Amino acid sequence: MAKIRAILIDDEQGAISVLTNLLQRDTQEIEIIGIASNLKDGVAKIEELKPNVVFLDVQMPNYAGYEIASFIEEIEFEIIFVTAYNQFAIKAFELNAVDYLVKPIGREKLALALQKLKDKLNQKKALIDYKDLLKIIKDKEHKQIVLPELGNRRVISLDTIVAIKADGAYSIIYIINKSKITTSKNLKYFEDVLSISPSFFRTHRGWIVNLNHIELLNKTEQIITLANGLVEAKISRSKITDIEEAIK
């Protein structure tokens, strides 16, 4: 897993040293890529280094930490405020900060803030993955899909997907060459993304099929045979009429 890239901005060298030691001692997931002693220098480092998170002191000479919004038009990183005063928490959440830490920083409170940060970054990554996937499908020049697979990304053609089967929180994707791909996205994710493609149809709570690969529809046993017997997918009785119309 890639490390979370962090910049620390604080005019107190002692506070920087404490936070640096805590981060380096208690977690292997944070990489400190820059340190600044005032807001303007910090903004320059942010623009140059593109961090995932900024630990930002609230009270500093010339500019308060929460004035960062005046210097950066679009904040694309997360913020954890560091303050000696609880009342500044309101300012922190006005900027939609992940959390705020009150000096002196405690290890337990830092651990909670880091967990919130990881959760938020994971949510953001999931949204980016969804948007990337949607863009690829909408693009008429491309008929491929990007799949997260065990820490990697696999690019496959939509035409080669025979069916997608739910497997708990995961999905199993059946490919025309008889291979299977297990991905960490659930079936609802693929239903939402593939809904704009007329080739894909959700036949059952546990199945999405590619209509182009249907060989046989057995209404009595409620089974669809795809790609010369490669896959047998289930179909709900309530979906039979709909899929007959879709095939036509």
Domains defined along the chain, listed by start: 4-129 (3.40.50.2300), 143-247 (2.40.50.1020)
Omega prior to 198 cis, within 30 of 0: no
Q: How confident is the model at residue 20 (pLDDT cuts 50, 70, 90)?
A: very high
* 29 and 3 Cβ atoms separated by less than 8 Å: yes
Which element (helix H / strand E) includes 98? none
Angstrom distance (rounded) from CA 207 to CA 22: 48
**Residues in the chain, overall count:** 248
Angstrom distance (rounded) from CA 220 to CA 33: 63
- Measured CA to CA in angstroms, residue 155 lies from 17, 159, 173, 206, 238 at distances of 44, 12, 13, 23, 34
Residues β-bridged to residue 209: 163, 201
Per cent of the chain over pLDDT 70 is 87
- Measured CA to CA in angstroms, residue 6 lies from 32, 52, 210 at distances of 5, 6, 44
Average pLDDT score over the chain: 85
- What is residue 140's predicted lDDT score, i.e. its pLDDT? 47
Give the three-class secondary structure for 168: coil
Residues β-bridged to residue 144: 157
Give the residue-averaged pLDDT of 185-197: 84
- What is residue 61's predicted lDDT score, i.e. its pLDDT? 86
- Kindly state the tokens that stand for 4: 């979370």
Note the Cα 34 to chain centre separation in Å.
Answer: 25
CA-atom Rg of the chain in angstroms: 25
- What is residue 33's predicted lDDT score, i.e. its pLDDT? 95
- What is residue 100's predicted lDDT score, i.e. its pLDDT? 83
Has residue 53 got a pLDDT over 80?
A: yes
Closest CA to 82 of 94, 95, 65, 63: 65
Q: How confident is the model at residue 58 (pLDDT cuts 50, 70, 90)?
A: confident
* 204 and 231 Cβ atoms separated by less than 8 Å: no
Across 63-72, 85-94, 132-141, least confident range: 132-141
Has residue 87 got a pLDDT over 90?
A: no
